[in-house]
Amino acid sequence: MTEAADAGLRRTPLHGLHLRLGARMVPFAGWEMPVQYGLGVLKEHLHTRAAAGLFDVSHMGQVILRPRSGRIADAAAALERLVPVDVLGLPEGRQRYALFTADSGGILDDLMVANRGDHLFVVVNAARAEADILHMRTHLSDACEVEPVSGRALLALQGPAAAAALASVAHGVDTMRFMDVGVFHVGDCELWVSRSGYTGEDGYEISVPADRAVGLAGVLLARPEVEAIGLGARDSLRLEAGLCLYGSDIDETTTPVEADLAWAIQKVRRAGGARAGGFPGAARILHELAEGAARRRVGLLPEGRAPMRGDTPLYAAEAGGEPVGRVTSGGFGPSVDRPIAMGYVPAALAAAGTRLWGEVRGRRLPVTVCDLPFRQPTYKR
């Protein structure tokens, strides 16, 4: 048996391709995944920013919510019982970022929801997939069939050359806007495509039948502008884009307002809106929307070249005192050529320009609060 099998790790349909490409494989959320290829994390990151990177994200959970009544509005109304997001107002062919919230107001997971005409298509985080499916079955089964999607892989093609590369295979994808979704046929192969991603770049996520995934990846990788990219660069890309990683930057102890995700809560679900509240944790979340939260997720710029990693404690003074916050994600940003981080600090210390200190290996080093993102996105609006 292999070490991965011994450890009980799952493998994506592209596992063999990763090995042929020389990937270094690591455990991630119960899966054996490529962290980097021969280029290395730095060059993979910069290549995605300059051209196009292909990511295997088949570990993510894909779920269909099919309304029992046949009316998509009934599925949307049911899902609104679990998320503080306007799902009823989501047009056919469009996708929206959403959050499962707990009764405490904390975040159970973040997800993408698409209106596919006769059903909703949901993509959830790998580490939360089983819990999310149980959550949906428990609370939505009266209105929806909750159908985990099997037999399909999920690829992400990201970067300024992504549109041209994918359009060479699936004609018409280059006319999509950011957060559009559509079904494209390549021969007898059906691709479920969204113009979205997790890098801050223009790009696509592509659900493809598992037995066609290696072939599609091979066609894309044959193009000189496309390189295979691992989880290492995926993390540095999303950090530069100021995007949250569940389990690090957001979890059940953080509310959407604390996490600076209030933009994801549309007016119709806020106080005074036509469908205000009605989701778990609504009392706390609506209160924080009106009055502000006690703490907030912020960008952080460490001075010097030493990165401040997750769990670095943050202090208001160079010496003495208790920690006032902590770093949740941190590392080196290749595109901005400097250390960057995100973390939580009290609201009184959340203004851009505030000077704090992070404790690294027993030394307090200066760090400055800044606005997010570190690099502006290049989505096609």
For the stretch 92-126, pLDDT in tens is 999 999 999 999 999 999 999 999 999 999 999 99
Structure tokens belonging to residue 362: 């027993």
Within a 10 A sphere around the Cβ of 302, how many other Cβ atoms?
24
CATH superfamily of 1-292: Probable tRNA modification gtpase trme; domain 1 (3.30.1360.120)
**Average pLDDT score over the chain:** 97
Q: b vs e for 33-48, b when ≥16 Cβ sit within 10 Å of the residue's Cβ? A: bbbbbebebebbbbbb
Tell which residue, 81, 89, 101, 63, has the closest CA to residue 261.
101
Query: What's the average model confidence in pLDDT over 45-54?
Result: 98
Determine whether 176 is exposed, middle or buried from the number of CB atoms within 10 Å of its CB (0-12, 13-18, 19+): buried
Task: Give the residue extent of every domain in the chain.
Answer: 1-292, 294-381
Rounded CA separation 134/156 (Å): 26
Neighbour count for residue 147 (Cβ, 10 Å): 13
pLDDT recorded at residue 136: 98
Q: Give CA–CA dist 132/109, Å, rounded.
A: 8
Q: Are 340 and 266 in contact (CB under 8 A)?
A: no
Give phi and psi for 58, each to the nearest 5: -70, -10
Tell me, what's the pLDDT at 381? Answer: 87
Report whether 329 contacts 245 (CB < 8 A): yes
Look up residue 269 and give its amino acid.
R
Amino acid identity of residue 166, one-letter, is: L
Beta strand 52-56 pairing with 226-228:
parallel
* Structure confidence at residue 1 as a pLDDT band (50, 70, 90): very low
Fold of the domain spanning 294-381: Elongation Factor Tu (Ef-tu); domain 3 (2.40.30)
d(CA 207, CA 191): 6
Is the pLDDT at 68 greater than 50? The verdict is yes
The candidate with the shortest Cα–Cα distance to 269, out of 254, 279, 284, is 279
What pTM does this model have? 0.96
**pLDDT exceeding 90 applies to what percent of the chain?**
97
Inform me whether the pLDDT recorded for 336 exceeds 80. Answer: yes
Q: In the prediction, which pLDDT does 19 show?
A: 98
31 pLDDT tier (thresholds 50, 70, 90): very high
Evaluate if residue 310 carries a pLDDT over 50. yes
User: Residue 2: what pLDDT?
Assistant: 45
Q: What distance in Å separates the CA atoms of residue 133 and residue 155, rounded to the nearest whole number?
A: 21
Average pLDDT over residues 338-362: 97
CA distance 297 to 224: 39
What mean pLDDT do residues 17-26 have? Answer: 98
End-to-end C-alpha distance for the chain, whole angstroms? 48
Q: What is the pLDDT of residue 22?
A: 98
